[in-house]
Chains A and B, each alone.
Chain A
Amino acid sequence: MLKKISFTVNDTPVTLEVEAGETLLEVLRNRLGYTGVKKGCGVGECGACTVLIDGTPVDSCIYLAVWAEGKKIVTIEGIARNGELSRVQKAFVEEGAIQCGFCTPGYVLTATAMVESGKKYTREEIKRELAGHLCRCTGYQNILRAVEKALNDQAQGGGSCASYR
């Protein structure tokens, strides 16, 4: 049973027919080539498949593609602008917050939503916001530092450089 849906991915309009059982993760990776969206647990526990849907982090492995109708989706491929890394991405590089890299796209997207919110976060609040992601390499400390840094950079730099489009 196919259903025709339209949405945008990183500002690019997409229209395609999907099966009711297809996940957004599968459509993004397998049909549209956004392989920065990772499949981890498949049950919404690890956060590797996180994308932003209308600016909000969502696990795309338990989100049916048919629900994406009319939505604005951002994947990791949409974060750097004209080849320049975003504040969040730069902070991850500077803090060495990446080892194998499988969890990184998800973390960067959640952190991007945090930066975009304009809110201030304590370290405890940052931990809470990142709790939907698992990283089996870093031990989390460098990731926490990177997100803290990106939030501070944003607070000091104001809106002069959008962290993502």
Chain B
Amino acid sequence: MFNIQEYFEAATVEEAAALLAAHPGLTVIAGGTDVLIKMHHGQMAKAGLLSIRGIKSLEGIRQLEDGTIVIGALTTFTRIINDPVIRAHIPVLAEAAASMGGPQIRNVATIGGNICNGATSADSASTLFALNARLKLQDNQGQRVVPIQEFYLGPGRVDLKPGEILVEISITPENYRGYGGHYIKFSQRRAMDIATLGVAVLCKINGGTTFADVRIGLGVAGPTPLRCPEAEAYASGQPISAATIAAVGRLAVKTTQARTSWRASKEYREHLVAELTERALKAAVVKAGGREVA
């Protein structure tokens, strides 16, 4: 039995926004796989909940005419893994989603909840950082769109103003067309575990010989998921070679703020950043249509 003081359900985004405006202390709950566990562990003092799981318009994935992929905040991980649009255009997001929890959790956990929970270890977040995903937020005053990189403010803190809910995540075609991507989750167990480090790499190549663009999204390499601008800037225009890729891995460490936790020391995490960025970039090159780099 969870100690729930107040419980509301919304059937539409407008209803949710109105309820949040009227009851500012409510916590939004969707799949519940983070919120209920926090409650179980006594980490939530106030337990007034607003369930948004009945808002059908926030479920599912669609592709707009201009190619933009829109993922409803209530889309479950299982649905993302199996969705034909995701599998055809951004399979790296399906890989990341498949690494989260176990089947029973993926059947109910939502991508919107994964993001709004604000964890640096969120398996979908590093990939969405690399894809320059944009988040649409709505309250009873209207909507705004923020890049995911600006949404994360600190550990467990996101830029959701009182009364706002996340409604959708969009990825524009210039951020996925022509890119190959690869996600590596490093964890002690291959299922039901939280990442020691998560690495999502996207790359686009020029005529098979040089990098046109490289993007590196890291989870658990700092208080929030982050990108590696120095390494990315260096890679652009460089020949696709083992030397370039090793240098990108080393440079990636520069923008991290890893810390020591019981899962791993700072030094070990930094080692993982360099090593796994290299491995993920090598795999991404192949997926982008390039030749394998030994």
Contact = CB atoms under 8 A, between A and B. Distances in A.
A58 to B, nearest CB: 5
Contacts of A20: 4, 6-7, 49
Nearest to A43: B37
A131 interface: yes
B216 to A, nearest CB: 27
The main secondary structure of chain A at its interface with chain B is mixed
A63 B103 CA distance: 14
B4 A21 contact: yes
B55 to A, nearest CB: 13
A109 B53 CA distance: 24
Nearest to B3: A21
A133 B192 CA distance: 9
Contact of A131 (B41, B47, B51, B191): B191
A110 interface: yes
A44 interface: yes
Nearest to A56: B107
Contact of B32 (A45, A64, A132): A64
A158 B286 CA distance: 40
B53 A67 contact: yes
A129 B1 contact: no
B2 interface: yes
A22 B37 contact: no
Interface in B189-208: 190-192
A131 B190 contact: yes
A47 B7 CA distance: 26
B102 A132 contact: yes
A76 to B, nearest CB: 15
B108 interface: yes
A57 interface: yes
A37 to B, nearest CB: 13
Contacts of A67: 51, 53
B33 A44 contact: yes
B36 A62 contact: yes
Interface of B: 1-4, 6-7, 9, 32-33, 36-37, 40-41, 47, 49, 51, 53, 78, 101-105, 107-108, 190-192
For the complex of A and B, list the 5 residue pairs with the smallest distance between their C-beta atoms, beginning with the closest.
A132-B102, A131-B191, A20-B7, A21-B4, A21-B2
